């Protein structure tokens, strides 16, 4: 290869860049995974000494022995669960900082590189699918990462992606925190009228959004909004749902305060994110309409542990301290009304936090099985991936995760993933 040929250099770089960061093994032949214990997350039943036969990227059969001639991966000392699903991820997050101006100092290419690294972390923790819950960059790097994974250009979980944060000016999603005497940032995601919502939602759809993300209320991490206050109006959210659903897209709503939660539910959103001040009326409304909840419990709890150590604004910290007191009672209401709940992390420190939501859900009142269901069968249903993911059964993707011990007795074993297979390919080998 001549160094004078830029195309050759580019192709060579592309090949190098596509080499997975996690070690992989694959085979075109059938193979079997010998599970010491295999959990049926639908029923909670456990099958001992199960042989999961895999052909290509799919599960072919499950039995008590491997077919003659099949290669066998020995996971007899481990419990096997389906590939996990994080329904509230921010792929471009930087775990090293919570400085409010970080977005202003980071380019989209820099954030994309960080995103590639983050995807390896999710995969190593057993997450074979994630829903990106929106990003700040108007060029949509999350769509490029989604498509890159789908094409096999980079290694990572399957990605379902929201577009921008549909936000009012000055709301939780307005990334322009500069003083008024500075030049304003281009903010194509801001919507202050119903017609503005049409424009923003259609822009997201035009460039490839799977989901639309609404900021129904203020938030905690930014220094300017009030999480108790409804931001997008009832009419704006109703229009967003109308436009998105007509285009075959679903809608998620960041909603912390009680009034905004109920407004988003009335508007017809498909999922409420956080729901941190959910009251009985709101919970009943969600139950009647079948609205999903992605509670992201651990993220709020973890923020209290890190405090101001990563440059967090003290105004944001004060909001975090205040709102976390509402979290437990709100989650109890969600359980009381039997809401549909999916697992979501929403924490920039992915490596530290991605598996900790299991423990938070159980401490909040779920059983270990319910917490597992939130990250598997429930997440797959919310993301319309349930024909291919969420359970270990013939016809579905061979997405398998091995953990030591019994997560039905001690959910914290989910924090110690030993081995991961995605689509019949081992993406995290067992370390002997």
CATH topology of domain 31-83+390-428: Urease, subunit C; domain 1 (2.30.40)
Residue 8: pLDDT over 70:
no
| CB-based contact 340:127 (threshold 8 Å) | no
Tens digits of residue pLDDT in 150-161:
999 999 999 999
Q: Using the predicted structure, report yes or no on whether residue 3 has a pLDDT greater than 50.
A: no
Domain ranges in the chain are 31-83+390-428, 84-382
State pLDDT tens for residues 61-96: 999 998 898 899 999 999 999 999 999 999 999 988
**Torsion angle, CA of 328/330/332/338, rounded to 10 degrees?**
-150
Question: For residue range 385-398, what is the model confidence (pLDDT) as tens digits?
Answer: 999 999 999 999 99
Reduced to 3 states, what is the DSSP secondary structure of residue 50? Answer: strand
| Predicted confidence band of residue 4 (pLDDT cuts 50, 70, 90) | very low
CA distance 78 to 260: 44
pTM: predicted TM-score of the whole model, two decimal places: 0.92
For residue 161, what are the contacts with CB-CB under 8 A and spacing of at least 6? 91, 131, 132, 142, 143, 146, 208, 209, 210, 211
Whether residue 269 has pLDDT greater than 80: yes
The pLDDT score that the predictor gives to residue 360 is 98
Average pLDDT over residues 239-244: 98
Q: Of the ranges 25-34, 272-281, 285-294, 334-343, which one carries the lowest mean pLDDT score?
A: 25-34
Pick the CATH number of 84-382 from 3.40.50.2000, 1.10.3680.10, 1.20.58.100, 3.20.20.140: 3.20.20.140
| Start-to-end Cα distance in the chain | 39
Per mean pLDDT, which range of 4-8, 179-183, 274-278 is the poorest?
Answer: 4-8
Q: What is the mean pLDDT of the chain?
A: 92
What's the pLDDT at 231? 98
Domains 31-83+390-428 and 84-382 share a fold: no
């Amino acid at each position: 290869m001549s160094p004078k040929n830029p195309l050759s250099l580019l192709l060579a770089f592309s090949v190098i860049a596509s080499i997975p960061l996690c070690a992989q093994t694959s085979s075109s032949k059938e193979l079997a995974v010998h599970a010491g214990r295999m959990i049926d997350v639908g029923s909670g039943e456990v099958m001992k000494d199960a042989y999961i036969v895999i052909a290509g990227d799919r599960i072919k059969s499950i039995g008590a022995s491997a077919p003659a001639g099949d290669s066998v991966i020995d996971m007899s000392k481990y419990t096997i669960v389906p590939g996990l699903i994080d329904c509230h991820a921010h792929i471009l997050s930087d775990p090293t900082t919570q400085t409010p101006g970080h977005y202003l100092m980071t380019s989209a290419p820099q954030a994309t590189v960080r995103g590639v690294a983050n995807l390896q972390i999710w995969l190593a923790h057993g997450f074979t699918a994630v829903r990106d819950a929106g990003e700040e960059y108007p060029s949509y790097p999350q769509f490029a990462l989604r498509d890159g994974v789908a094409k096999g250009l980079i290694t990572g979980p399957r990605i379902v992606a929201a577009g921008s944060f549909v936000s009012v000016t000055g709301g939780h999603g307005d990334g322009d925190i500069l003083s008024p005497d500075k030049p304003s940032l281009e903010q194509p995601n801001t919507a202050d009228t119903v017609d503005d919502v049409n424009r923003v939602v259609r822009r997201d759809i035009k460039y490839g959004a799977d989901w639309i993300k609404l900021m129904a209320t203020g938030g905690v991490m930014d220094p300017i909004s009030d999480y108790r206050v409804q931001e997008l109006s009832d009419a704006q959210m109703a229009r967003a749902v109308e436009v998105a659903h007509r285009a075959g897209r679903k809608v998620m709503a960041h909603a912390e305060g009680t009034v905004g939660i109920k407004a988003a539910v009335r508007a017809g959103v498909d999922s409420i994110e956080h729901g941190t001040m959910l009251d009985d009326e709101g919970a009943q409304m969600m139950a009647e309409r079948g609205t999903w909840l992605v509670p992201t419990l651990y993220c709020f709890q973890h923020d209290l542990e890190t405090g101001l150590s990563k440059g967090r604004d003290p105004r944001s910290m004060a909001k975090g301290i205040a709102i976390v007191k509402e979290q437990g009672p709100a989650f109890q209401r969600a359980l009381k009304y039997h809401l549909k709940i999916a697992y979501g992390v929403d924490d920039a420190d992915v490596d530290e936090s991605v598996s900790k939501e299991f423990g938070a859900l159980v401490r909040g009142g779920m059983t270990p099985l319910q917490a597992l269901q939130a990250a598997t069968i429930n997440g797959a249903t919310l993301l319309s991936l349930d024909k291919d993911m969420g359970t270990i059964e013939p016809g579905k993707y061979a997405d398998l995760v091995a953990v030591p011990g019994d997560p039905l007795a001690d959910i914290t074993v989910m924090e110690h993933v030993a081995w991961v297979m995605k689509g019949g390919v081992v993406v995290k080998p067992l370390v002997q």
